[in-house]
Chain A
Amino acid sequence: MTLESFGQSAALTLGVELELQLVNTNDYDLAHYADDMLRLMARHQLPGSVVPEMTAGMIEISTGVCETSQQALAELSRIRDALVQCADKLNIAVVGGGTHPFQQWHQQRIYDKPRFHELSALYGYLTKQFTIFGQHVHVGCPDADTALYTLHCMSRYIPHFIALAASSPYVQGQDTAFDSARLNSVFAFPLSGRAPCVLTWDEFGAYFDKMTRTGVVKSMKDFYWDIRPKPEYGTIEVRVFDTPLTVERAAALAGLVQSLAAWFQQERPFAPVEDDYLVYGYNRFQACRFGLDAVYVDPVGGEHLPLRDHLLSTMERLQPFATACQATDALALLRKDVLDNRNDARWLRERQAKERLLGEVIRQAAQRFRGRDA
């Protein structure tokens, strides 16, 4: 199979996908209600789509193609309201967050769909451990080469994305000491990581051909990269976000991606080279482990500086692009959290310190997802 050609999309358009948790309202463990939610959601007229995910306690929602993060927020809010209504009817709750804090991976059931069973047969327990919840943001690129350029510039901001979205401190009932433990499950897959540093679609096609010849991959879907091109949509897809606890934060993160892409595509500020990736793994680990308290190593100069400072200076730099993208509110929301040193992982830890009961933390997170602060 050769690589498909890169599709058409208007530059800087957005699409947001959110993987969400379905939990019961007795002990707030994951509830296997995906089919029922899909059946009830089908009765609602909504933008975007709602589809099943790997295990039956997950559901994925996505917006249509949006011009701005405000439009994405409006669509996500409408879908969220419908989800909450259907969940109420079924006596379950919908929650954000990158992991379910105490679900036992071996109790999860693979959603009944051939592809999921194939994956499950190949990856064994990794599939069930893959009961993790992420946000993907698509951003439109005018052509394939610009897409690859945008992708490699965006790679420098992977730690920033991870720290802002981190919402998975708890796994299997334990505090992992990571702000985003979810990404550790992604690393376990052989084709995770980063895209090869090539800047033209021809070179990328050659890489793809070599990989398919090895028989290791069959399609772009087999790459679990942090950012990957999505030729069928004409976008690049940022995949490192934990699902935030609110749709407001999800839309704000999309606004950040859009503003960055606008900067890269309009000013071409960097010249990506393979050596940029020398510090990639280290920066990524720092962000997963320490969140907003991480250290960031500049890929070009090699200086070590607090990620928080780099985030603030980046947001400063993005102001004009954010204004053009109507993403100033989005950036303001994120900037405030950086100044307060808060992300969702911190919120979850604070609640757990107070309640000492992870089920109660999830109940309150479900209230937050509804748009009602617990």
Chain B
Amino acid sequence: MFDPSTASWAERLQSTPGPLTLEWALLLALAALAGHLVQRFSGLPKIVGYAVFGTLIGLAGFAGAAWPLHGVGLYLLELGIAVVLFEAGARLSLRWFRHNPMVLVQSLVEALLTFAVAFVLLRALGLDVPVARALAVVSVAASPAVLMRVVSDLRASGPVTDRAIALATLNTLYALTAGTAMLRSIDRGDASLMASLASSAAVLGISLLVGGLLAALLIGAFKLLHPTSQDTAIVILALLGACTAVTTPLGGSAPLATLLAGIVLKQLHPRPWVWPRQLGTAAAMLNVLMFVLVSSMAAQADWGGVITWAALALIAARMSAKLASLLLTGPASGLSLRQSLWVGVALLPMSSVALLLTSQFVVASHGIGARVAAIALPVILITELLGAVLVGLALTRARETVKPWRGADSSGGDSPPGSLT
């Protein structure tokens, strides 16, 4: 029997953003619920819930976005990263490096050692130079997004928290610069060192230009608006959106541009950073979307035997490199050995930035990109799932999370991460 009301409903749906939007809206709501339940019943950070949920829908083939990322999916991922990196950049004070240059040395050692160890391992596993190089660059990036999300879930603060965020921000800066530059030369075979440096400088320059403009616009806006008002939050979010839309077509990297904008802003406008609380819900929603997107995409990886082993080896090598460099440079930079260890653990997750770079490699050269993705996707998935738990563990063991009221017992660091009221 013909039912006109159904027909017209389906027709009307055609003229809206469509079923894909409906699917994502519902997935997002379920992810938020999953995050809440995970934290409520296990005490783990919420993003473990988002990631697990994303993985399940990815494995079930539900994820609406197509691989490699493009269109709205790509834009939302870039915007999510842009917002996080802007905030991370705005915490990075160049003045600090002047007073404590060892932090910068620490960051460079950490990034270079990670790159070198990953590259040597992947070559030893028989991968071609361009693939090994791309994967090594992807390995350098830790995840400021995971870190900052866990920090906010567990309300962590302290030296380990601050140092981990600073180092993650810096290695993301390096990875985005080198990675985006590498995309340009990927199909030209083995590009010379000079060519890659020039290419990196170009990416960095264009991104800095856009980032500088963004910072200037924001400083202008702050002259008129009160920093804690909702209007300010809207202006920031809107300008970050605009920046994300224009930078990549101009030849820069959108996440890199907002990261640099944050850094420039912090230097030119030293007033305290108070916006995140206002950016609150909007940024959090982008965040959830980003984590679901990352794990659902990464879950579509092909889990062959050899590839799984290669992925696990890469994770182990990457973690050893990060831990070793931290333990080596920690004490001279003002951290204790114990703190250095926990900072190293907190640098394990790699998620959104790594996924973005991987996706861009696939677009730039299908041949090389597919081989990069084959190993990168399982690594991203495992480190995102494990990473959030490890970050929570690191921050709790470093005694930097707010714990529920505890009485006379001082057996502190042994409660599960995030056992909050």
Instruction: Show the binding face of A for B, using Cβ within 8 Å.
Output: 24-29, 31-33, 36, 39-40, 56, 85, 88-91, 107, 109, 112, 114, 117-118, 120-121, 356-357, 359-360, 362-363
Contacts and interface: CB of A to CB of B under 8 A. Distances in A.
B226 A356 contact: yes
B274 A31 contact: no
Nearest to A27: B272
A304 B294 CA distance: 72
B407 A359 contact: no
A27 B272 CA distance: 5
Contact of B159 (A90, A114, A359): A90
A159 B99 CA distance: 42
Interface string B382-410: 00000000000000000110110001111
A373 B228 CA distance: 26
B19 interface: no
Given A40-B334, A90-B334, A24 B271 contact: no
Given A32-B400, A91-B96, A360-B271, A24 B157 contact: yes
B273 interface: yes
Contacts of B159: 32-33, 36, 90
Given A27-B272, A357-B227, A357-B228, A112 B158 contact: no
Nearest to B403: A109
B408 A120 contact: yes
B92 to A, nearest CB: 9
A360 B273 CA distance: 9
A39 B99 CA distance: 17
Contact of B93 (A29, A91, A107, A118): A91
B415 interface: no
Nearest to B99: A88
B271 A32 contact: no
Given A26-B272, A91-B100, A117 B334 contact: no
22 contacts: A24-B157, A24-B162, A25-B96, A27-B273, A31-B158, A32-B400, A36-B159, A36-B334, A36-B335, A85-B99, A88-B95, A89-B334, A90-B100, A90-B159, A91-B99, A91-B166, A109-B403, A120-B408, A359-B274, A360-B272, A363-B270, A363-B271
B410 A25 contact: no
Contacts of B403: 109
Contacts of A359: 271-272, 274
A361 B268 CA distance: 18
A363 B408 contact: no
A250 B407 CA distance: 35
A28 B407 contact: no
B322 interface: no
A251 B100 CA distance: 31
Contacts of B271: 357, 359-360, 363
A146 to B, nearest CB: 40
A361 B93 CA distance: 19
Top 4 A-B residue pairs of the complex, sorted by shortest distance between their CB atoms: A359-B272, A88-B99, A121-B408, A91-B96
B100 A109 contact: no
Nearest to B159: A36
Contact of B402 (A33, A36, A109): A109
A39 B335 CA distance: 9
B158 A33 contact: yes
Contact of A112 (B99, B166, B410): B410
Contact of A39 (B162, B227, B336, B412): B336
A118 B91 contact: no
Nearest to B102: A89
B97 to A, nearest CB: 9
Contacts of B93: 25, 91
B73 to A, nearest CB: 32
A117 B99 contact: no
Nearest to B409: A117
Nearest to A39: B336
Contact of B272 (A40, A85, A107, A363): A363
B155 interface: yes
Contacts of B90: 26
Given A357-B227, A363-B272, A89 B99 contact: yes
Nearest to A84: B99
Contacts of A112: 399, 410, 412
Contacts of B228: 357
B155 A107 contact: yes
A125 to B, nearest CB: 9
Interface string B318-335: 000000000000000011
